[in-house]
């Protein structure tokens, strides 16, 4: 592809909110996203550096802590889990958690320094992954038996000393969009809109969608999960290009303010239960101004969570990011660059900074094509962890959609 066209495509992704980096969201989108993000990034990064940083509203433009709450002056963010370990975790699907794969994953944690599992409670399709009689969940949700006995699972995790994190996929919810079109985005003919992969989204402006997902989170907390991790906390990719052609309810608030308000509300609702709240966010969000299209502002979201998990997979950065021709082939340099941007972005929050716990790569991105990827194993996982440690980050989560992880990495 022509270099100029590639650069324009990458700029379009950033300014419209179309994802250029994967993450827990990328289980089904890895190939699509990385093909899209194939353009040189030097010009983009230069422009991003010159653009105003999306700081907290009450932070001083200098980037130094100011006098307001967001700066942390006179205030300290209280951790609802002060005794929590430094989390080194893995993603576990509900199928794995409720099936025979669980024992081998528990053995991996028993035999290594890994100590946590991020388990789907509400998955990428919108299914609640275990049986429930909770009327707040049954009103909008469709429970499955992927995890047939949730109490037994929680007891087993506790027996093995696993720090359990419940993953709740929020606004990407194909099931709810189909069953309740009024909570989604409709075409002019009344049909429910879905993206190119057939995924439906619910409308983040609707308070019913907020309360339903928080009800799922509350039940997970009461079941024993120590932390709730919200994923897909955003509008659909490139939403501003679709909004005028769709029918949906909205308020006068911007998409960024709406998403930030949801996060703040969720944190307040879950705080009495003593659980941490974390949010997954695109890795590139730390390197560019706010993604207005999807409504994600790295700083505004981070201000109201206990943990922020940027998805910084080397395979999901395009040519030229962090001065690297093919980021997937240079995991150490890519992670170092991503963490440098993350620290700079969060500096204005002062003592209100959340724990930084990135998602890193434990899969091989062969779809990038010959010369643009390398097989990932011990050396590549070790390189990412080394870069995190040298950047002052001691927590991380490993992503592999099939839940097959490198057992001999230096965790």
365-394-275-134 Cα dihedral, nearest 10 degrees: 20
Instruction: Decide: 245 and 274 in contact? Cβ < 8 Å.
Output: no
In the prediction, which pLDDT does 328 show? 98
pLDDT in tens, the chain (411 residues): 434 333 444 444 444 444 333 445 544 444 444 444 434 444 344 434 333 333 222 222 223 223 333 433 345 688 999 999 999 999 999 999 999 999 999 999 999 999 999 999 999 999 999 999 999 999 999 999 999 999 999 999 999 999 999 999 999 999 999 999 999 999 999 999 999 999 999 999 999 999 999 999 999 999 999 999 999 999 999 898 989 999 999 999 999 999 999 999 999 999 999 999 999 999 988 988 888 899 999 999 999 999 999 999 999 999 999 999 999 999 999 999 999 999 999 999 999 999 999 999 999 999 999 999 999 999 999 999 999 999 999 999 999 999 999 999 999
Instruction: Decide: 212 and 139 in contact? Cβ < 8 Å.
Output: yes
Q: CA dist 175 to 147, 181, 202, 294, Å?
A: 18, 10, 9, 21
Interval 250-298: pLDDT, tens: 999 999 999 999 999 999 999 999 999 999 999 988 988 888 899 999 9
Cα–Cα distance measured from residue 136 to residue 149, given in angstroms and rounded to the nearest whole number: 20
**The residue to which tokens 């706010």 are assigned:** 290
In the prediction, which pLDDT does 14 show? 42
Instruction: Decide: 91 and 397 in contact? Cβ < 8 Å.
Output: yes
Cα–Cα distance measured from residue 160 to residue 350, given in angstroms and rounded to the nearest whole number: 36
Q: CA dist 109 to 100, 146, 226, Å?
A: 16, 22, 17
Q: Which of 103, 216, 114 is nearest to 166 (CA)?
A: 216
* Beta-bridge mates of residue 240: none
**The residue to which tokens 């620290």 are assigned:** 343
Cα–Cα distance measured from residue 331 to residue 335, given in angstroms and rounded to the nearest whole number: 6
Instruction: Decide: 360 and 393 in contact? Cβ < 8 Å.
Output: no
In the prediction, which pLDDT does 177 show? 97
* Beta-bridge mates of residue 291: 296
320-321-323-324 Cα dihedral, nearest 10 degrees: -70
pTM of the model: 0.84
DSSP assigned state of 201: B
Cα–Cα distance measured from residue 193 to residue 216, given in angstroms and rounded to the nearest whole number: 24
In the prediction, which pLDDT does 1 show? 43
**The residue to which tokens 């091989």 are assigned:** 364
């Amino acid at each position: 592809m022509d270099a100029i066209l590639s650069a324009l495509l990458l700029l379009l992704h950033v300014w419209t909110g179309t994802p250029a980096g994967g993450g827990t969201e990328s289980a089904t989108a890895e190939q699509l996203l990385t093909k899209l993000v194939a353009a040189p990034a030097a010009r983009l990064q230069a422009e991003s550096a010159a653009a105003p940083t999306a700081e907290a509203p009450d932070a001083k433009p200098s980037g130094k802590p100011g006098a307001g709450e967001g700066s942390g002056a006179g205030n300290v963010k209280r951790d609802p889990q002060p005794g929590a370990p430094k989390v080194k975790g893995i993603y576990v699907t509900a199928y794995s958690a409720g099936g025979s794969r669980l024992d081998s994953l528990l053995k991996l944690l028993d035999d290594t320094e890994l100590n946590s599992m991020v388990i789907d409670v509400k998955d990428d399709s919108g299914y609640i992954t275990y049986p429930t009689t909770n009327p707040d969940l049954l009103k909008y949700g469709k429970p499955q038996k992927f995890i047939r006995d949730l109490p037994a699972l929680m007891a087993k995790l506790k027996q093995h000393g696993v720090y359990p994190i419940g993953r709740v996929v929020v606004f990407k919810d194909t099931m709810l969009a189909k069953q309740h079109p009024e909570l989604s985005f409709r075409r002019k003919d009344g049909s429910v809109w879905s993206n190119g992969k057939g995924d439906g989204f619910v409308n983040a402006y609707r308070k019913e969608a907020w309360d339903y997902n928080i009800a799922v989170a509350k039940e997970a907390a009461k079941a024993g999960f120590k932390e709730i991790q919200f994923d897909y906390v955003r509008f659909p990719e490139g939403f501003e290009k679709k909004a005028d052609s769709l029918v949906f309810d909205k308020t006068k608030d911007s998409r960024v303010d709406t998403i930030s308000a949801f996060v703040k509300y969720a944190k307040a609702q879950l705080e009495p239960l003593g659980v941490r709240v974390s949010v997954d966010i695109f890795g590139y969000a730390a390197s560019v101004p706010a993604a207005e299209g999807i409504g994600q502002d790295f700083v505004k979201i981070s201000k109201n969570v206990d943990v922020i998990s940027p998805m910084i997979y080397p395979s999901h950065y395009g040519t030229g990011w962090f001065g690297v021709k093919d980021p997937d082939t240079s995991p150490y340099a890519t992670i170092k660059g991503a963490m440098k941007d993350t620290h700079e972005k969060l500096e204005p929050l002062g003592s209100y900074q959340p724990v930084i716990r990135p998602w890193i790569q434990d899969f091989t991105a062969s779809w990038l094509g010959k010369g643009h990827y390398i097989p990932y194993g011990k050396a590549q996982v070790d390189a990412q962890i080394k870069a995190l440690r040298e950047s002052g980050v001691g927590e991380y989560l490993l992503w592999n959609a099939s839940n097959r992880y490198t057992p001999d990495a230096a965790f």
